[in-house]
């Protein structure tokens, strides 16, 4: 079972809001993406916030166990596009997986907090 550190620091160390500079994560995964090959990542149980870091561009789409994304080849104007190079996100209920894809081989780290 992963050990998560909290992203929200309670009184007396914080104001019960997400920290601008969170403490180091207690959980980090490393994902290797091959060029133009989507990979579905299962968010660890108990994670409430995540952050990404990568050595190249990548796209992320959030959803359930069947979420799949691709690199856009045209305009996507209905709100369903994948996000390019996201940084940090809170995870609402129902988000259990992230589909990742990159135009070139890329390494991504995903850090998680409770």
What would the pLDDT profile of 66-105 be if each residue is shown by its tens digit? 999 999 999 999 999 999 999 999 898 999 999 999 999 9
Three-state SS annotation for 41-95: EECCCCCCEEEEEECCCCEEEEECCCCCCCCCCCCCCCCCCCEECCCEEECCCCC
Per domain, the residue ranges of the chain are 1-72+81-114
Q: What is the pTM of this model?
A: 0.83
What's 1-72+81-114's CATH class?
mainly beta
Average pLDDT, the chain: 89
């Amino acid at each position: 079972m992963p050990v998560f550190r909290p992203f929200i620091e309670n009184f007396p160390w914080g104001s019960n809001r997400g920290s601008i500079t969170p403490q180091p994560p207690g959980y980090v995964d490393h994902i290797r993406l091959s060029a133009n090959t989507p990979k579905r990542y299962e968010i660890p149980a108990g994670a409430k916030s995540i952050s990404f870091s990568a050595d190249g561009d990548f796209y992320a789409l959030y959803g359930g166990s069947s979420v799949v994304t691709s690199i856009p080849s045209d305009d996507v104007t209905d709100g369903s596009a994948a996000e390019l190079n996201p940084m940090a996100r809170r995870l609402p209920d129902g988000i259990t997986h992230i589909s990742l894809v990159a135009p070139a081989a890329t390494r991504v780290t995903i850090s998680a907090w409770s």
